[in-house]
Amino acid sequence: MATEHVNEHIRYEPDENPPAPMAIGAGFQAALIMVAPVVLTVVIVLQISGQPAAYMAWAVFAAMLVSGLTTILQAVRVGRFGSGHVLFMGTSGAFIAVCIGALTVGGPAAMASLVVISSLFQFLLASRLALLRRIFTPTVTGTVIMLIAVTVVPLLFDALTDVPEGAPEAAAPVAALATLVTVGALVLRAPPAWRLWSPLIGIVVGCSVSGLFGIYDFASVQDAAWVGVPFSEWPGLELTPDEKFWALLPAFVVVTIVGAIETIGDSVAIQRVSRRRPRATDFRVVQGALNADGVGNLLSGLLGTLPNTTYSSSIPLTEVTGIAARRVGVVIGAIFIALAFFPKVAALLIAIPPPVASAYITFLIGVLFVQGMRIVVQEGVDHRTAVVAGISFWIGFGFQNQLIFADLLGDGFIGVLLGNGMTSGAVAAIIMMVFMEVTSPRRRRLQVALGMEALPKIEDFLRGFASRNGWDAASSERLTSAGEETLSILLQESGDPGAGARRLNVAARMEGRSAELEFVTALEGVNMEDHLAYLNELPPAPDEREVSFRLLWHYASSVQHQKYHSVDIVTVTVDKQQ
C-alpha cells in the first residue's frame, strides 16, 4: 500500500484540455498511424474471400466511419457507453479467419448478421463483469496484452521486407532503420515538445527515404477519387439463416469474447498510463469500454463490414506522447470520419510502405509488451499467478508459431481458433483461473443491512470464521477490527449512513495463512484503495474520516476496491499472526 511515484511524463490527463493546435497535432498523428490497419485489414479479408471491388469500397468506407464514431464514443463517454479515455477503435484482426469463412460460405449478408448477433455477447459480458472478476483478473488481462505482441510481431517482421518487385535490396532495411532510429532517438532523448511529434517525424523520415528508393506507391494515390460514398453497395442482413450460418456462430462468439478480453486489458492499461498519480483500476471504465466496443461491432454488422475493437497501440502512443486528454480522442474520431469521405487522402496514408509502418508499430508493440508485464507484476506475483502468466504466455507463443501439435490441429475450427496465440493463451489462462476458483476453499457468507447495527453480526461472523480456522485470540481480534473499520469506511462512503436500505454481503475464506474478506455493496464515494495509497502524504494528525482508513491500513495486509456500475467490491486480506 506504499505510495507510487508520480508519472511526470503525462502532460495532459483525460479531464484536462491541451491547446487546440496540440490536440489536433496529436490526433492527426494517431489517425495517420491507425487508418492504415483499419483499411488494410478489411482489404485483405475481402481480397482473400474473393469479394468484388464495389463491395470492398463500401466495407472500407463503413469501417472508417464506425471507427471514427466509436473512437469519439470511447473518449466522451455517454452514460455507460465509452471509457472516457483515448482508446482507438478500428477493424479487429482477431476476426480475419472467421470473417473469411463467413464471406466464403454465406457472403457479406451472412457475415453482417453473424457480427450483429455476436456483438450482443459483449453487452452481456459488460453487464456481468463483476460476476466474472475472478476469471478476468489482471494476471489474465496482462498476459493477453503480452500475447498481442506475440501475435502481431511475426506479421510485422514479415512486412519489414515487403517491397515491390525489382526494388533495391537496401530499400526495405534502410527505410525501416531510418524510421526506427528517428522515433527511438526522439523518444529517448528529445524534449517533451519534440517527443510529441516523434511518431509523425519518424513516418515522414521513413517515407522520404522510401521515396528515394522508389518504393512509395504514388500511382495508387493518383488513381483514387477525391470524394466518394458507395451507398449502393450495402449488403444488407441475412434474414433466413441456414445450417452453415449457425455452424459459424459459435466461432464468432468465441472470437468476440477473446476480443472482449483484449478490450478489458486495453481499458485497464490505458488507465495506468493516463494519470500522473497512479489510481486503482476503475472497472466502470472497463465496462464502458466493453459497451462501446459492442456498439462498434453492432454498427459494423448493420453496415456490413468487419467487426470493430480497441487498438492496443492506444496505450504506448499515450505513454510516448504524454497526452491522454479526451479531446485528442474526439479529434482522432473526427479525422477518421472525414477520411471516410475522402478516398484520396486515405490512399495517401495507405501508400505508406510496409517497412516504414512495420518499423514504427514494432516500436509501439515493444512498449505495449512491457505494459502487459507491468499489469501482471503490479498486482503481485505469487506461485499461482506466475504459473498462469508463464504457462499461458508460452502456450500462446507455441501455438502462434506452430510449434505445438501443428500437424494434429489441421485447418478446421480448432486449428484456426488455437492457431492464434492470443486466443490459445487466453483460453489456457481462463481454464487455469476457473480451476483455481472451483477448487478454492469454500466461502462463508453473511448478508446484512448496511448500517452500524450490522456490526455485532459481522463481528460474530468473523470470530466464528477465525475460530473454525484455528486463529488465536490476537489474530481473531485483528480480523474483527479490520471488519469493523471496513464497515465504518463503507458507511462513510455510502452517502446514506443511517438508512440501512442497502444490503451488504460479506464473504470470508482462507488463502494460505491469510483470511480474505469480501464486502459487496453499492457506494458513492471515492475508491478506498486510492485513499489508502496516499495516507503517507496526509498530515500526521488525521481528521475523523481518516481514522478508519489508517486503522484499516494497520490491520490489513492488502485492500482492493473494485468499482463497477451498481456494485462495489472491497477485498481485505488479513494475515494470521505468527
In this predicted model, what pLDDT tens digit does every residue of 465-520 receive, in sequence order? 999 988 988 889 999 999 888 888 888 777 655 445 678 889 998 888 888 898 98
pLDDT beyond 50 at 2: no
In this predicted model, what pLDDT tens digit does every residue of 197-208 receive, in sequence order? 677 788 888 888
In this predicted model, what pLDDT tens digit does every residue of 285-315 receive, in sequence order? 888 999 999 999 999 999 989 998 888 778 8
How far is Cα 366 from Cα 396, in angstroms, rounded to an integer?
17
For range 418-427, the mean pLDDT: 75
Sign of CA dihedral 428, 430, 431, 432: positive
Where do you find CATH 3.30.565.10 in the chain? 444-575
Residue ranges in 401-472 assigned as alpha helix (H): 406-409, 413-418, 421-439, 455-468
Name the band, by pLDDT with cuts 50, 70 and 90, for residue 535: low
Size of the chain in residues: 578
In this predicted model, what pLDDT tens digit does every residue of 18-51 receive, in sequence order? 888 888 888 887 787 677 678 767 776 776 777 8
For range 216-228, the mean pLDDT: 73
For range 442-449, the mean pLDDT: 87
Query: Residue 564: phi, psi to the nearest 5?
Result: -115, 170
CB neighbourhood size of 452 (10 A): 13
For range 204-228, the mean pLDDT: 78
Position 303 scores a pLDDT of 93
Position 300 scores a pLDDT of 94
Identify the DSSP state of 577.
P
How far is Cα 326 from Cα 331, in angstroms, rounded to an integer?
9
Mean pLDDT score of the chain: 80
Alpha-carbon distance values, 520 to 399, 449, 450, 486, 495 (Å): 39, 11, 10, 11, 16
pLDDT beyond 80 at 546: no
535 or 456, higher pLDDT: 456
Q: Of all helices (H) and strands (E), which one includes residue 370? A: helix 354-378
In this predicted model, what pLDDT tens digit does every residue of 145-165 receive, in sequence order? 788 777 777 767 877 787 777
Best mean pLDDT range from 112-116, 378-382, 539-543: 112-116
For range 123-137, the mean pLDDT: 81
In this predicted model, what pLDDT tens digit does every residue of 236-273 receive, in sequence order? 888 877 777 777 777 687 778 777 877 887 888 888 88
This prediction's pTM: 0.70
pLDDT beyond 80 at 384: yes
575 or 410, higher pLDDT: 575
| Homologous superfamily of domain range 444-575 | Histidine kinase-like ATPase, C-terminal domain (3.30.565.10)
| Pairing label, strands 444-449, 503-511 | antiparallel
Position 3 scores a pLDDT of 45
How far is Cα 355 from Cα 216, in angstroms, rounded to an integer?
11
Position 65 scores a pLDDT of 93
User: Cell 471516410 appears where?
Assistant: 340
177 Cβ contact partners less than 8 Å away, ≥ 6 residues apart: 359
Count Cβ atoms within 10 A of the Cβ of residue 217 and give its class: 0-12 exposed, 13-18 middle, 19 or more buried.
middle
Identify the DSSP state of 441.
P
Position 5 scores a pLDDT of 57
